[in-house]
Chain A
């Protein structure tokens, strides 16, 4: 199972497959991702690979972000040696804009620090899971957020046409607390949350332009950062071709 990739949603379009049917696809620009750090059970208590994607201008990067990319020579390296807390190797290059960690299963071979992961590693993958942040809607009312019906337009309704109605009554269902129930759906911030879309079919992989084309949609606006993983769902064994419909 290949280590996951980081990427950016480019946008959606439509292409034709071998059978000539139109397929709606999301284009994701993924990789090359630099391996920044490999976590081991001995040092960190678990196994994972930290990867970075994109470039951040050095003027925007913090000292910590810049520092972790280059090999520190001189005094500091010596001081670290004396403290007997050797750091792992550093990848070099520009500080990445988007950094995420991928857990590895036990016994899975980890790439080396500084390695570049590309879409080519997904060549054998048929289905992927995509993790991203969905579009932020800001402060949304209950009609938009939860599809409440709102109140009527006339018959005495004044300035409450998009209100959610009553939120609690009768000591909140005789619970004697008189409080609003926990989890009551109300207006508030909506969107900009992490969303995982599972089992997206990989339609095409373009190693030349570092693109992955998946069938269907992916959370977030074009330009949003996303994480790609081989799907955690069980991939069904391809069935013997059923009788084709016309």
Chain B
């Protein structure tokens, strides 16, 4: 694919990307607010869980969130730029050392918890000294 083609594709994709990127990191516990259409009514559903993976690029970028429901592991993969995601809140930062947390799938009970990471420099925007 030529460079020009990539540029054109980027232009096309720009229209489908969200203006402000969702801010979270792998290992974070997040609340995802999704718009759901029921008949003619729209309501918001919240899915809470740990972000265990992020993949893809451009408009195809997705992230996977895992949680335990009634003792059963449930994973949902969301398109990063989906307009159906109205809001994403980070509840808790997990201390992790890898990009994919698939090891959580093999863990049960208390072991599924991640050690909380306290706010670091990265989380608080630097205030320029005046």
Would you give the shortest CB distance from B53 to chain A, in whole angstroms? 18
- CB atoms of B58 and A13 under 8 A apart: yes
The answer to whether A20 and B35 touch (CB under 8 A), given A11-B1, A14-B59, is yes
- Nearest B residue to A19 by beta-carbon distance? B37
- CB atoms of B8 and A222 under 8 A apart: no
A11–B79 Cα distance when bound, in Å, is 20
A25–B60 Cα distance when bound, in Å, is 12
A29–B12 Cα distance when bound, in Å, is 11
Would you give the shortest CB distance from B7 to chain A, in whole angstroms? 9
Would you give the shortest CB distance from B32 to chain A, in whole angstroms? 14
Would you give the shortest CB distance from A196 to chain B, in whole angstroms? 23
- CB atoms of A15 and B59 under 8 A apart: yes
- For residues 211 through 231 of chain A, which have their beta carbon under 8 Å from a beta carbon of chain B? 211, 213, 222-223
Interface string of B2-34 (1 = CB under 8 A from A): 100100110111011000000000000000000
Interface status of B125 (Cβ within 8 A of chain A)? no
Specify which chain B residues have a CB less than 8 angstroms from the CB of A166 in the assembled complex: none
The size of the chain B interface, using a CB distance under 8 A, is 22
- CB atoms of B16 and A29 under 8 A apart: no
- CB atoms of A27 and B83 under 8 A apart: no
Specify which chain A residues have a CB less than 8 angstroms from the CB of B8 in the assembled complex: 10-11, 27, 29, 209, 211
Q: Categorize the interface residue count of chain A.
A: 20 to 34
The answer to whether A13 and B5 touch (CB under 8 A), given A20-B35, A213-B12, is no
- For residues 72 through 102 of chain B, which have their beta carbon under 8 Å from a beta carbon of chain A? 79, 81-84
Interface status of A22 (Cβ within 8 A of chain B)? yes
Specify which chain A residues have a CB less than 8 angstroms from the CB of B106 in the assembled complex: none
- CB atoms of A211 and B12 under 8 A apart: yes
Interface status of B123 (Cβ within 8 A of chain A)? no
The answer to whether A20 and B83 touch (CB under 8 A), given A213-B12, A244-B39, is yes
Interface status of B38 (Cβ within 8 A of chain A)? yes
A48–B79 Cα distance when bound, in Å, is 46
Specify which chain B residues have a CB less than 8 angstroms from the CB of A19 in the assembled complex: 37
A15–B81 Cα distance when bound, in Å, is 9
Would you give the shortest CB distance from A143 to chain B, in whole angstroms? 29
The answer to whether A209 and B2 touch (CB under 8 A), given A15-B16, A16-B83, is no
Given A10-B8, A22-B82, 20 more A-B residue pairs with CB atoms under 8 Å apart are A11-B5, A11-B8, A13-B13, A13-B58, A13-B60, A14-B16, A14-B58, A15-B12, A16-B59, A16-B81, A16-B83, A20-B35, A22-B79, A27-B8, A27-B9, A206-B11, A209-B8, A209-B11, A223-B1, A246-B38
